[in-house]
Structures are given as structure tokens and as C-alpha cells.
Amino acid sequence: MPSFDIASKVDQQTLDNAINVVRKEISTRFDFKNSPVVIELDKKEYIIKVEVESDMKMKQLIDVIISRSMKQGIEPGAFNFDKDAYPSGKVVKKEIPVTNGLKQEDAKKVVKTIKDSGLKVQVQIMDDIVRVTGKKIDDLQEVIALLRASSLGLPLQFINMK
């Protein structure tokens, strides 16, 4: 029976490349000249740590992170900008978590969306992915189209189509 997996992961190397491109662009931009900017990627925790000298520069830096990561193929929904930036001495710091794997409640939202559609497929949650199995490949393609059209707010990838 045909099946595929639904995941929400960001490739570590792609993320690292995107952060390196951001660093390079910020170092050459005139509005960031002679200002302290620190951009670090914690590869184990998938957290981007950012330090700049003002809120305005923080917003500009976030815009650069989003635009450059989109060019690398990372969806903007993969970044969690919910936490506010906090002042620390003369700089403003912010930690930006990056989505890596579907959380249990997000996986349940995906399953509920598929079940409510009435498509004849079986859905099961397996750790940080959701496996969808059906009798016809057309049914699986309808599930993919349904999830792309739905507004779950999750960066989903459809992998291992068999």
C-alpha cells in the first residue's frame, strides 16, 4: 500500500548556510557598520542567539534572517519569534528557536485535519512524524494538497513517498 510521511524538520546544514549568509550580509551593510552584532547557531538545541544594540536593528536582522533562509529553502514558519527581545547592558538579546520535528499537539492537529476531510486514508503518529497510508496514490496526493491549503501554521515536508 502506498504511504508517505509528514515531517517538520529543518536540515542542519541548510540552516547553518543560511546563518552564515546572514552574517556575511550584516557585516557588509552600512546601517550595521561599527555596531556590535552577534549571531550564533546552537546546532544541538536548534536555537539562533542574536545580540544587537537596538530594537530597530533587531527587527532589521530578523527580516534578513527570514529573507535569507527563504532563499535557502527554509520556511519562515520554522522560526519561532514569539519570545520578546530583552535588554542586557548596552545590547538587546533574543533567542530564536527553530522547529525540528513535529510536537505531539501539532501532530494531533495534522491528524485531525486529515480525519475531518473524510479521505479514505489511515493516519498514525510515529514519534516526530505522521505516517499516512492509503489504497491509492491519488488519495495521498489529495492529503498533501489538503495540508498545503490548510492554515496550520507549520512548516511541513512530505517525505518517503512509497
Confidence of residue 40 (pLDDT cuts 50, 70, 90): very high
* 4: β partners: 132
| pLDDT tens digits for range 12-38 | 999 999 999 999 999 998 988 888 899
| pLDDT tens digits for range 62-74 | 999 999 999 998 9
Are 72 and 90 in the same domain?
A: yes
Question: Of 97, 128, 144, which residue sits at a domain end?
Answer: 97
* Integer angstrom CA distances of residue 107 from 2, 97, 161: 20, 19, 18
Are 16 and 70 in the same domain?
A: yes
Are 26 and 91 in the same domain?
A: yes
pTM summary value: 0.81
Are 93 and 30 in the same domain?
A: yes
Question: Of 97, 117, 148, which residue sits at a domain end?
Answer: 97
Distance CA 50, CA 58 (A): 8
